């Protein structure tokens, strides 16, 4: 059986598309493996934190007002949960704290929700760029290991999480504060002695 001149290029194109998915999966897996290997938390703690984030956000989504009127993200680091985003009222902010505290496995909740309208896609993009810049600057600064600090930006505010010394915390905050567009730096660290 011979392939026509039309079918042969189509078959080659389809094969190359399928193989690109394999390469992307392989590279994505390698990147995830590197993240796990460089994170100072154990792999079990990392998985527990990912699970806690999902469970807290799931609990928050069950509240009608939060799911329809708010933008809330949960970030977990060593079972400590940071809530960031925007809510319509102080009572909604309080409800979010209560719901997060009610999730099994959560040891502390840091509620940094802001009362106001949800941020725009444009602001979310700016925040992502700020986070990238902070991480990049930490990578080349020898005062703090970038892998010891988790960086999240929300509406121009940079949140720093991790288990660090006071000197490392101060260095991380100093680095973040010098990035263009950063309005405030909030430290959510557990301090090592």
Residue 28 counted as domain residue: no
CA distances in angstroms from 19 to 23, 28, 54, listed in the order given: 6, 14, 31
Q: Are both 185 and 133 inside the same structural domain?
A: yes
pLDDT at 19: 56
Determine how β-strand 184-191 pairs with β-strand 157-164. parallel
60, 83, 115 - which closes a domain: 115
Which contacts (CB < 8 Å, 24+ apart) does range 170-175 have? Answer: 171/141, 171/143, 171/144, 172/138, 172/144, 175/134, 175/137, 175/138, 175/141, 175/143, 175/144
84, 115, 146 - which closes a domain: 115
pLDDT at 23: 47
pLDDT in tens, 128-151: 999 999 999 999 999 999 899 999
Q: What percent of the chain has pLDDT over 90?
A: 75
User: Tens of pLDDT along the chain (193 residues)?
Assistant: 555 555 665 555 555 555 555 544 444 544 444 445 568 788 988 999 999 999 999 999 999 999 999 999 999 999 999 999 999 999 999 999 999 999 999 999 999 999 999 999 999 999 999 999 999 999 999 999 989 999 999 999 999 999 999 999 999 999 999 999 999 999 999 999 8
DSSP 59-119: HHHTSHHHHHH-EEEEEEETTEEEEEEEESSHHHHHHHHHHHHTSTT--EEEEEEEESPPP
Total domains present in the chain: 2
81 close to 75: Cβ distance less than 8 angstroms: yes
85 close to 72: Cβ distance less than 8 angstroms: yes
Residue 23 counted as domain residue: no
Q: Are both 110 and 141 inside the same structural domain?
A: no
Determine how β-strand 80-87 pairs with β-strand 71-77. antiparallel
Q: Are both 158 and 180 inside the same structural domain?
A: yes
Helix/strand/coil for 123: helix
Considering Cα of 102, then 106, then 107, then 109, what sign does the dihedral take? negative
Domain that holds residue 171: 121-191
pLDDT at 31: 43
Q: Are both 89 and 126 inside the same structural domain?
A: no
* CATH code where residue 87 lies: 3.30.1340.30
pLDDT in tens, 77-88: 999 999 999 999
Q: Are both 132 and 172 inside the same structural domain?
A: yes
Residue 27 counted as domain residue: no
pTM above 0.85, yes or no: no
Q: Are both 140 and 83 inside the same structural domain?
A: no
pLDDT at 39: 80
């Amino acid at each position: 059986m011979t392939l026509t001149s039309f079918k042969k290029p189509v078959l080659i194109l389809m094969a190359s598309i399928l193989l690109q998915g394999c390469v992307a999966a392989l590279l994505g897996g390698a990147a995830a493996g590197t993240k796990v290997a460089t994170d100072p938390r154990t792999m079990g703690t990392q998985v527990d934190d990912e699970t806690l984030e999902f469970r807290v956000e799931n609990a928050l989504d069950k509240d009608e007002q939060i799911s329809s009127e708010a933008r809330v993200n949960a970030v977990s680091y060593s079972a400590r949960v940071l809530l960031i985003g925007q809510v319509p009222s102080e009572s909604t902010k309080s409800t979010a704290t209560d719901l997060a505290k009610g999730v099994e496995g959560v040891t502390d909740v840091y509620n940094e929700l802001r009362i106001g309208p949800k941020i725009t896609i444009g602001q979310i993009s700016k925040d992502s760029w700020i986070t990238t810049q902070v991480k990049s600057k930490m990578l080349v600064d020898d005062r703090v290991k970038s892998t010891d600090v988790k960086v999240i930006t929300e509406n121009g505010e940079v949140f720093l999480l991790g288990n660090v010394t006071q000197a490392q915390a101060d260095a991380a905050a100093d680095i973040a504060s010098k990035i263009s567009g950063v309005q405030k730096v909030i430290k959510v660290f557990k301090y090592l002695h």
